[in-house]
Amino acid sequence: MKTITELKRMKTEGSKIVMMTAYDYPTAAFAEKSDVDLLLVGDSLGMVVLGYPSTVYVTSEDMIHHGKAVRRGARDTFLVVDLPFGTFRGSQDRILTEAIRVFQETGADALKVEGADEVLDTIQLLTSTGIPVVAHLGLLPQSASVIGGYKVQGKTADAARKLLDDAKLCEQAGACMIVVECIPHQLTAQLAAAVSIPVIGIGAGAEADGQVLVFHDLVKYGDHRLPKFAESFSDAGAVIQDGIRSYTNAVRTGTFPGKQHHFTMKEEELMNLYGGGSQ
């Protein structure tokens, strides 16, 4: 497993860090086999797996349920789990109780929280408790209703300056990594240079220290529209559709099940059955 120290060295050496989301056991196992550096159990699971219209309906129970499955599939990959909407605000007691529960029950290596400002205290609190924290800046899906949708962030000099300040403050608060979402690529370059912790981008250009993509986007699994920044590297949706169509066809035309799928009763038992069985 890549440790934080190794991920930091990758940043310095300029070797790109590969991260993807996973929400279940087989996907996690595939990712580990494919030598993915970091796995994220994103709260995006609410949208791509559970069918909610946004991530705000996701609960800690959801994150724990999927986090445990991913951990079982990838025991040797650095695992980040999102803290869902509303769980890292409020009293320190409440935040700690929630975070400790998710951290312990999933066996995650780090937890991710969206935002800076008031969230900086959370980053500090969790880090000082012994929970590594990944910060998340730029487009914050949990605040989409406030921002007015999924829009590119940091496009003006003022907004960019604020994001640069936030990134430094997240590092100072103890964050071990930063995910930046939907920001101009030039700003990503500046951000990555401004902090010594890895900056992982999504919709943030090639200048980030690494990239993260949602699993369902990168293999095209589902009927959702791909965000503009996403790329699908295979067409799992089409393969799955084909498979299901072939299955329905085979059942209806009688080609499945075939002889090779049959279980067979011994001839002698069959005779007993026809003959009325034991007398």
Distance CA 166, CA 180 (A): 11
Sign of CA dihedral 99, 100, 103, 105: negative
At 210, is the secondary structure helix, strand, or coil? strand
Q: Does 177 bind ligand MHF (CB under 6 A)?
A: no
- Whether 181 is a known active-site residue: answer yes
For the bound state, the minimum distance from the C-beta of residue 250 to ligand MHF, rounded and expressed in Å, comes to 32
Asked if residue 182 lies in contact with residue 138, where contact means CB atoms within 8 angstroms, the answer is yes
At 20, is the secondary structure helix, strand, or coil? strand
Nearest one of 163, 101, 103, 105 to 135, comparing CA atoms: 163
For the bound state, the minimum distance from the C-beta of residue 100 to ligand MHF, rounded and expressed in Å, comes to 25
What DSSP state is assigned to residue 124? H
Q: Name which of 42 and 115 has its Cβ closer to ligand KIV.
A: 42
Asked if residue 188 lies in contact with residue 164, where contact means CB atoms within 8 angstroms, the answer is no
Choose the binding region for ligand MHF from 24-32, 66-74, 213-221, 252-260 (rule: CB under 6 A): 213-221
Q: Does 37 bind ligand KIV (CB under 6 A)?
A: no
Choose the binding region for ligand KIV from 35-43, 65-73, 234-242, 256-264 (rule: CB under 6 A): 35-43
Q: Does 109 bind Mg ion (CB under 5 A)?
A: no
Sign of CA dihedral 269, 270, 275, 277: positive
Tell whether residue 117 is among the known ligand binding residues: no
Q: Name which of 13 and 158 has its Cβ closer to ligand MHF.
A: 158
- Angle formed by the axes of helices 60-73 and 92-106, nearest 10°: 30
Choose the binding region for ligand MHF from 130-138, 147-155, 191-199, 244-252 (rule: CB under 6 A): 147-155
Residue reference for tokens 């937890």: 111
Q: Does 141 bind ligand MHF (CB under 6 A)?
A: yes
Sign of CA dihedral 65, 66, 71, 77: negative
Asked if residue 224 lies in contact with residue 216, where contact means CB atoms within 8 angstroms, the answer is yes
Q: Does 202 bind ligand KIV (CB under 6 A)?
A: yes
Angle at 216 between CA 215 and CA 220, to 5 degrees: 120
Q: Does 222 bind ligand KIV (CB under 6 A)?
A: no
**Candidate list 32, 98, 171, 181, residue with the active-site label:** 181
Strand partners for 202: 181
Tell whether residue 43 is among the known ligand binding residues: yes
For the bound state, the minimum distance from the C-beta of residue 193 to ligand MHF, rounded and expressed in Å, comes to 24
Q: Which residues bind Mg ion (CB under 5 A)?
A: 42-43, 82
Annotated binding site for 3-methyl-2-oxobutanoate: 43-44, 82, 112
Q: Which residues bind ligand KIV (CB under 6 A)?
A: 21, 40, 42-44, 82, 136, 179, 181, 202, 212, 214
Active site residues: 181
Annotated binding site for Mg(2+): 43, 82, 114
Q: Which residues bind ligand MHF (CB under 6 A)?
A: 44, 47-48, 55, 139, 141, 150-152, 182, 214, 216-217, 224, 227-228, 230
